[in-house]
Structure 1
Amino acid sequence: MMVRAGLLLGLVLIVFSLGKSPVFRVDRAGAAIIAATLMVGLGVLDFAGAIRAIDFRTLLILFFMMIVIANLKVAGFFDLIGSVLLRRVATRRQLLLAVIFISGGLSAVCINDIVCLLFTPIVLLVCAKARCNPLPHLLGVAIASNIGSAATFLGNPQNILIASLSGVPFLTYFRTALPVALAGLACAYWVIARLYRRELQGPLPALEQDRVGCHRYLAFKSLIVLALVIAGYIAGQDLALTSSLGAAFLLITRRVKPNKIYASIDFNLLIIFAGLFVLVGGLEQSGLARLLVREAARWVDLQNRAVFALLTVALSNLVSNVPAVLLLKFFLPETGAAAWWQALALFSTFAGNLTITGSIANLIVVEIAKRHNVRIGFADYLKAGLPVTLITSLLGLVFFHWLS
């Protein structure tokens, strides 16, 4: 069983590393489905064991939060932000600063992948109207969305997963991560502004404002519901319950067709999560997970937070954040588990800024830009992402050392 589980793990890691199968037309979601099916078909897990391995609570939280954010999209909330951007900023450097802190701030309370999906076209439109190079601003969207999402357990899929697995309270993590995330956003601005100082010189031209089609009632209603979901979570209520109540309330409407909301739900991500839960359940059942922990402990000091941070950054870039978290949970020391879970959330998120393939959020920005004839190359991203990842990870290490 251990060999079968190891082979399936290896095949999934290859597909997740490359983004697709090198032979067949199989993407990450397909690889997760195939691996989960074979875990049962090859006898590593029985069907009941596969069902038990799936953390339905995490899937429900992701699903319901997507419904809440989809209502903001349909209301035109993100278009309104673009309009405010054009009215409030006067120079290209101010535009970059605003893009970074808006992207980071939204990603702290909304899933960063969705923020990039909705905010990137708006930034492209703003840059086209302002007749400025969109590249530094697009890098700002991607990099800031990763950093900002590290501030809370609601910011990205892997942090939602960690919140579900660890049981660490929202405010406990928020107090730890917020100072590092804010310093990280300032660092991102400094790095990008230095790299593109020529492109960011000068004022923005005076522009006529287009009328924005924002449904203010729906936007206000959705923001109130999002605030109540977060407030309930902070107060100690189950996030699965608060998010489900919020989503259910927003679905009771005479103004919005349900299909408009459902079209904004990332079902691919939910499928990936379900498949990976079964895969990891097979690793535990076969004994391979325990073997990997024992062998790793022989070669590296997993009690050293710097080593753990390096391992997290490397593995997150090798196989993507969510699979990395599901694998690294086996390596967490039992003493002071809450602090290690928080470190995993922070470093696995900062790791997404290292390369263009480091997080799904980056790829979303790149693909949307490509459709608008703006190319973000691997080297373009790396020269900004590498220093930002190094600095933010170092800040995280220093801060955790100070806390301990």
Structure 2
Amino acid sequence: MDTFVIVVFVLTYLGMAFGSVPGLKIDRTGIALVAVVALLLSGKVGVRAMGSSIDVPTLLLLFALMIVSAQFQLAGVYDSVATRVAGGSGSPRRLLALVIVAAGGLSAVLANDVVCFAMTPIVAEGIRRRGLDPRPYLLGLVGAANAGSAATLIGNPQNILIGQVGGLDFWDFLAACALPALASLVVVHVVIAWIWRAELDRTPAPPPPPATGHQLHRWQAIKGACALLGLALLFAAPLPREVGAMVIAGLLLASRKMSSREMIGSVDWHLLLLFACLFVVTGAFADTDLARQWVESLAENGLFPETLGAMLPLSLVASNSIGNVPAVMLILAVWHTPDPGALTGLALLSTLAGNFLLVGSMANIIVAERAASVGAKLSFGDFARAGIPLTLVTMAIAVAWLWLGGWMTW
């Protein structure tokens, strides 16, 4: 009987939607891990089957990219950029533009979750010292981080997964998604500047003296930049992407200045564990008769997200109910024959859909939690106020681009 597996699967994805369990201090990663334990204990999933259902190459690539990001973090790049942006001269709208350009640019080449984690408290405190409301700037930060990360296959976890599963070419993906991602950054600025115009009409106080605690280690930053260049070259070589990334990560760990313990400690192990556990849970569900019947029904009725008419609502609803990473993992678990164009559309649209509501992406949650830790409150309504219109506009642009470029049909 598949009933137990189906119940565990449903409860797991309800946990992904709500993010916690009432009365328990357990988060999404903990929920997914408990689900795997339940499957193991019941005998519905064996240890060997569990190992075979985990996409190790994807986890290796994600780990290696986190090491590259840790190089930038420990070199003080994120802190330095955030400090310079928050202390920039000019009008509030110019400050907002600086935040958007910095977050979007960094997120295109580094994981957007890490960019948000590092930049949020510094931007919040820096903007507040200028006598300004930090909320529109934080919304600009996360909106740009999501939009900018849509440009590349290494910008966010779901793109990394899609690229690995589909074997997508790094440069072809960039050609397909760079322009709509860039246009989305402009939309983020325009929408936030309009909706938060009252807060952005204030005159900022003079920039405070540079913070002494945020030192940029130039040589280590240069090493990080060289690592990114090396990644780009290796991605163009006939070498598995995860192998090339691990080579770069290994070279960075062999450092005379940076402690390997500190660099490995900067890896988001919670996210890696969440990925591994969701691979097991979705893999177990995909092997059930219900999943097979569901796939057959979707195929018979033409409901697979192979067209924009199906992909658009699916990306928007799934990303803002269970989150874009779990949504993508679930879709890929039952969609066995996607073409490269459809996978490109899934990556672009699921990422942009993450700006719709607070629960749409992990980056949103990270910004809200990190902002709260320094006294800057971002409510669900704050996110929705700007997120809903900017998401609808950016997704409309992306849909038009995918259709006109021939990547997907309507």
Report the TM-score when normalising by structure 1.
0.94
- 2:292 is aligned with 1:266: no
- In structure 2, relative to structure 1, the CA distance for the partners of 1:286 and 1:218 (3 Å cut) is same
Alignment correspondent of 1:248: 250
Distance 1:49 1:347, change over 3 A: same
Residue in structure 2 matched with residue 97 of structure 1 by the alignment = 97
Q: Find 1:309's aligned residue among 298, 302, 312.
A: 312
Please say if 1:349 is aligned against 2:381: no
Aligned partner of 1:399 in structure 2 is: 401
Aligned to 1:228: 230
Deviations 1:127-163 (A, max 9, x none): 0332211110000011111111111110111111111
Counterpart in the other structure of 1:337: 339
Q: Distance in 1 between matches of 2:17 and 2:207?
A: 44
Aligned with 2:200: secondary structure? coil
Q: Deviations over 1:203-229 (max 9, x none)?
A: 544335425411111111122112211
Amino acid at match of 1:284: A
Look up the equivalent residue of 1:309 and give its one-letter code. Answer: L
Q: Quick check: 2:282–2:333 contact (8 Å CA) kept in 1?
A: no
Q: Partners of 1:204 and 1:224 in 2: how far apart?
A: 37
Q: Deviations over 1:350-382 (max 9, x none)?
A: 111111111111111111111111111111110
Match of 1:29 in 2: 29
CA distance in 1, matches of 2:25, 2:301: 37
Contact 1:78 1:122 in 2 (8 A): no
2:361 matched to 1:359? yes
Counterparts of 1:331 and 1:22, CA distance in 2: 30
Counterpart mapping for 1:70-89 below 5 A: 70-85=70-85, 88-89=88-89
How far apart are 1:83 and its partner, in Å? 4.0
C-alpha deviation, 1:182, in angstroms: 0.7
Partner Cα separation in structure 1 for residue 241 and residue 217 of structure 2: 27
| Structure 2 counterparts to residues 79-158 of structure 1, below 5 A | 79-85=79-85, 88-158=88-158
Measured after TM superposition, the shift of residue 298 of structure 1 is: 6.1
In 1, distance between residues paired with 2:275 and 2:298? Answer: 25
Match of 1:196 in 2: 196
1:198 partner letter: A
* Deviation readout 1:75-132 (Å, 9 max, x if unpaired): 1111221343256541110110111111111111111110000011221132033221
Match of 1:38 in 2: 38
Which residue, out of 248, 259, 264, partners 1:257?
Answer: 259
Does the aligned pair in 2 maintain the 1:306–1:397 contact within 8 Å?
A: no
Do the aligned residues in 2 keep the contact of 1:312 with 1:328 (CA within 8 Å)? no
Q: What is aligned with 1:166? A: 166
User: 1:25 Cα deviation (Å)?
Assistant: 3.5
Q: Residues 44, 286 of structure 1: CA spacing in aligned structure 2 closer, same or farther, 3 A cutoff?
A: farther
Q: Which moved more, 1:340-349 or 1:248-257?
A: 248-257
Give a deviation string over 1:213-270, Cα, whole Å, max 9, x none: 1111111112211221133113453221222111111111222233322332111111
Tell me, yes or no, if the aligned pair for 2:307 and 2:342 is still in contact at 8 Å: no
**Identity across aligned pairs (percent)?**
33
Displacement of 1:202 in angstroms is 5.4
Match of 2:327 in 1: 324
CA distance in 2, matches of 1:376, 1:313: 22
Q: What CA distance in whole angstroms lies between the structure 1 residues aligned with 2:276 and 2:376?
A: 34
Structure 2 CA distance for aligned equivalents of residues 116 and 385 of structure 1 = 16
Q: Distance in 2 between matches of 1:62 and 1:330?
A: 19
Q: Is residue 15–residue 21 contact of structure 1 (8 Å, CA) maintained in 2?
A: yes
C-alpha distance in structure 1 between counterparts of 2:274 and 2:18, whole Å: 15
Structure 1 pair 331–47 and aligned structure 2 pair: CA distance change class (3 A): closer
Secondary structure in structure 1 of the residue aligned to 2:309 = helix
Equivalent pair of 1:169/1:236 in contact (CA under 8 Å): no
Q: Whole-Å Cα distance in 2 between the matches of residues 333 and 389 of structure 1?
A: 28
How many angstroms apart in 1 are the aligned matches of 2:218 and 2:188?
32
Can you list the C-alpha shifts for 1:329-363, whole angstroms capped at 9, x where unaligned? 256484x7111111111111111111111111111
CA–CA separation in structure 2 for the residues paired with 1:215 and 1:196: 36
Q: Which amino acid is 1:379 matched to?
A: G
Shift in Å at residue 44 of structure 1? 2.7
Cα displacement (A) at 1:73: 1.0
251-260 vs 392-401, greater mean Cα deviation: 251-260
| Superposition RMSD in Å | 1.9
2:285 aligns with 283
Residue pair 2:86, 2:123 contacting (<8 A) in 1 also: no
Do the aligned partners of 1:356 and 1:362 also contact (CA within 8 Å) in 2?
yes
Cα pair distance change 1:129/1:332, threshold 3 Å: same
CA gap 1:330/1:82 in 2 versus in 1, 3 angstroms = closer
1:292-335 per-residue CA deviation (whole Å, 9 max, x = no partner) reads 2234456663343222220121111111112211221256484x
Secondary structure of 2:215 counterpart: coil
Q: 1:143 is matched by which residue type in structure 2?
A: G
* Cα separation, 2, equivalents of 1:14 and 1:337: 29
Unmatched runs of 5 consecutive residues or more in structure 1: none
1: CA distance, partners of 2:190 / 2:94: 12
Match of residue 10 from structure 1 = 10
CA distance in 2, matches of 1:32, 1:208: 44
Which amino acid letter does the alignment assign opposite residue 244 of structure 2?
Answer: T
Match of 1:370 in 2: 372
C-alpha separation between the residues in 2 aligned to 1:281 and 1:317? Answer: 22
- Report if aligned partners of 1:332, 1:341 keep a CA contact under 8 Å in 2: no
Aligned residue pairs, count: 403
Does structure 2 conserve the Cα–Cα contact (< 8 Å) formed by 1:321 and 1:352? yes
1:169-194 CA distance string (max 9 Å, x none): 01111111111101111011000000
- How far, CA to CA, are the matches of 1:58 and 1:28 in structure 2? 20
